Protein backbone atom coordinates (compact mmCIF):
# COMPACT_ATOMS: atom_id res chain seq x y z
CA UNK A 1 0.00 0.00 0.00
CA UNK A 2 2.81 2.44 0.88
CA UNK A 3 4.54 1.72 -2.45
CA UNK A 4 1.36 2.50 -4.33
CA UNK A 5 1.10 5.84 -2.56
CA UNK A 6 4.72 6.68 -3.43
CA UNK A 7 4.10 5.86 -7.10
CA UNK A 8 1.03 8.09 -7.19
CA UNK A 9 2.92 10.80 -5.35
CA UNK A 10 5.80 10.52 -7.84
CA UNK A 11 3.41 10.78 -10.79
CA UNK A 12 1.74 13.85 -9.29
CA UNK A 13 5.14 15.41 -8.61
CA UNK A 14 6.26 14.71 -12.19
CA UNK A 15 3.07 16.28 -13.57
CA UNK A 16 3.60 19.32 -11.35
CA UNK A 17 7.16 19.70 -12.68
CA UNK A 18 5.97 19.37 -16.27
CA UNK A 19 3.27 21.98 -15.67
CA UNK A 20 5.82 24.30 -14.05
CA UNK A 21 8.30 24.02 -16.94
CA UNK A 22 5.54 24.34 -19.50
CA UNK A 23 4.43 27.57 -17.80
CA UNK A 24 8.03 28.88 -17.73
CA UNK A 25 8.56 28.07 -21.42
CA UNK A 26 5.27 29.72 -22.41
CA UNK A 27 6.10 32.83 -20.38
CA UNK A 28 9.61 33.07 -21.86
CA UNK A 29 8.29 32.62 -25.39
CA UNK A 30 5.73 35.37 -24.88
CA UNK A 31 8.37 37.67 -23.38
CA UNK A 32 10.72 37.12 -26.33
CA UNK A 33 7.84 37.80 -28.73
CA UNK A 34 6.94 41.00 -26.86
CA UNK A 35 10.57 42.21 -26.89
CA UNK A 36 10.92 41.46 -30.61
CA UNK A 37 7.66 43.26 -31.36
CA UNK A 38 8.70 46.28 -29.28
CA UNK A 39 12.11 46.48 -30.97
CA UNK A 40 10.46 46.17 -34.35
CA UNK A 41 8.00 48.95 -33.59
CA UNK A 42 10.87 51.18 -32.44
CA UNK A 43 12.67 50.52 -35.71
CA UNK A 44 9.62 51.67 -37.65
CA UNK A 45 10.07 55.12 -36.16
CA UNK A 46 13.68 55.52 -37.31
CA UNK A 47 14.35 57.48 -40.45
CA UNK A 48 15.18 55.34 -43.48
CA UNK A 49 18.66 56.85 -43.58
CA UNK A 50 19.37 55.60 -40.06
CA UNK A 51 18.20 52.12 -40.94
CA UNK A 52 20.38 52.08 -44.06
CA UNK A 53 23.33 53.37 -42.06
CA UNK A 54 22.73 50.67 -39.46
CA UNK A 55 22.60 47.88 -42.04
CA UNK A 56 25.69 49.25 -43.82
CA UNK A 57 27.61 48.91 -40.57
CA UNK A 58 26.53 45.38 -39.72
CA UNK A 59 29.22 42.78 -40.24
CA UNK A 60 27.25 39.82 -41.54
CA UNK A 61 24.36 39.08 -43.85
CA UNK A 62 22.77 37.23 -40.94
CA UNK A 63 22.68 40.46 -38.91
CA UNK A 64 21.25 42.42 -41.84
CA UNK A 65 18.60 39.75 -42.30
CA UNK A 66 17.80 39.97 -38.58
CA UNK A 67 17.20 43.71 -38.95
CA UNK A 68 14.96 43.03 -41.94
CA UNK A 69 13.01 40.36 -40.04
CA UNK A 70 12.38 42.73 -37.12
CA UNK A 71 11.03 45.36 -39.49
CA UNK A 72 8.96 42.88 -41.46
CA UNK A 73 7.39 41.36 -38.34
CA UNK A 74 6.48 44.84 -37.15
CA UNK A 75 4.89 45.64 -40.49
CA UNK A 76 2.53 42.65 -40.24
CA UNK A 77 1.68 43.43 -36.63
CA UNK A 78 1.12 47.11 -37.43
CA UNK A 79 -1.19 46.28 -40.33
CA UNK A 80 -3.35 44.02 -38.17
CA UNK A 81 -3.53 46.45 -35.25
CA UNK A 82 -3.93 49.70 -37.17
CA UNK A 83 -5.49 48.77 -40.50
CA UNK A 84 -7.68 45.87 -39.49
CA UNK A 85 -5.52 43.49 -41.52
CA UNK A 86 -6.33 45.17 -44.84
CA UNK A 87 -3.19 43.60 -46.28
CA UNK A 88 -4.96 40.23 -46.06
CA UNK A 89 -7.24 41.26 -48.94
CA UNK A 90 -4.21 42.36 -50.96
CA UNK A 91 -2.48 39.04 -50.25
CA UNK A 92 -5.56 37.13 -51.38
CA UNK A 93 -5.96 39.17 -54.58
CA UNK A 94 -2.29 38.68 -55.47
CA UNK A 95 -1.99 35.02 -54.50
CA UNK A 96 0.49 35.76 -51.69
CA UNK A 97 -0.20 32.74 -49.48
CA UNK A 98 2.79 33.24 -47.16
CA UNK A 99 1.79 36.87 -46.53
CA UNK A 100 -1.79 35.79 -45.84
CA UNK A 101 -0.60 33.12 -43.39
CA UNK A 102 1.61 35.58 -41.54
CA UNK A 103 -1.22 38.10 -41.27
CA UNK A 104 -3.55 35.41 -39.98
CA UNK A 105 -0.87 34.44 -37.47
CA UNK A 106 -0.90 38.04 -36.23
CA UNK A 107 -4.65 37.86 -35.67
CA UNK A 108 -5.98 39.28 -38.93
CA–CA–CA angle 52, 55, 60 (5° rounding): 160
Other Cβ atoms within 10 Å of 91 Cβ, number: 20
CB contact set of 41 (below 8 Å; sequence gap of 6+): 74, 77, 78
Confidence (pLDDT) at 9 = 53
Confidence (pLDDT) at 22 = 73
What does each of the 108 residues of the chain score in pLDDT, given as a tens digit? 545 545 455 555 666 667 777 776 777 677 776 777 777 777 667 677 787 888 888 889 988 888 888 888 888 888 998 898 899 999 999 999 999 998 998 887
Confidence (pLDDT) at 35 = 75
Q: Report pTM.
A: 0.50
Confidence (pLDDT) at 7 = 47
Amino acid sequence: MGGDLRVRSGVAENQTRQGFWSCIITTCSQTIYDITNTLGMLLLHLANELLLCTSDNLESERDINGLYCLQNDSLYSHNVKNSGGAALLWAEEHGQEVTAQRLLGEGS
